[in-house]
Structure 1
Amino acid sequence: MSHLPNHETGALVKRINRIEGQLGGIKKMIVEEQPYDEIIIQLNSARSAIQTISKLLLEAQADHSLMNVADGESLDNEMKKLQKVIKQYNRMN
């Protein structure tokens, strides 16, 4: 994906696994009828973690596009790919 360690597939999968754990904990809180404010705190934490992964993927795409252009790929094609990722990223925020 990218040459940066936090963009590697393994690192991203670890982040996703943590989020899955968070969501499981949130589900348990709901089942146990924990206070809503505490549940919302945990939901915000999970949302923040998802946004972080989204940012890392955006960075990875930018890095990937720059490396591809340096290797002779079409600048126009790489710009289109990057613009598509930026558009999706902006929909999250």
Structure 2
Amino acid sequence: MENIASSQEACRKSHHPDSVKKDLTTRLNRIEGQIRGIKGMIEKDVYCDDVITQLSATQSALNSVAKLLLEGHVKGCVVDRLQTGDEAVVDELLVTIQKLMKK
């Protein structure tokens, strides 16, 4: 039974409009640049408080990406699965929200 669930999860895909994919990709590229910048700051022995400020900004940017994905997930995937009678998606969603709230 576990193998079936794992294979179903592996096959699941989201269906984001191209505009959303572009927005997410742009945000993630910016975050990637921020991470490289932070790494450079560490290598150059930049003042700790300045590095922490950049880390905070990067975490905020990651949280924004997570919020956009969560919104799309709820409005798309969760609604679709509920309409097909798959109520297990509610438990899955609660676990996902708990993971996001730990940060």
Q: What is the identity, as a one-letter code, of the residue corresponding to 2:73? A: Q
CA RMSD of aligned residues (A): 2.2
Q: Deviations over 1:34-80 (max 9, x none)?
A: 111111110100011111111111111111122x158x422513323
Which one of 70, 77, 83 corresponds to residue 94 of structure 2? 83
Contact 1:26–1:43 (8 Å) recurs in 2:
yes
**Whole-angstrom distance in 2 between the partners of 1:69 and 1:29:** 45
Runs (5+) with no aligned partner, structure 2: 1-14
TM-score normalised by length of structure 1: 0.77
CA distance in 1, matches of 2:65, 2:84: 26
Check whether the contact 2:34–2:54 (CA below 8 A) recurs between aligned residues: yes
Extract unaligned runs of 5+ from structure 1. none
Structure with higher RCO (Cα < 8 A, 6+ apart): 1
TM-score (norm 2): 0.71
- Paired with 1:60 and 1:88, the residues of 2 have a C-alpha distance of 17
Runs of 4+ in structure 1 off by over 6 angstroms are: none
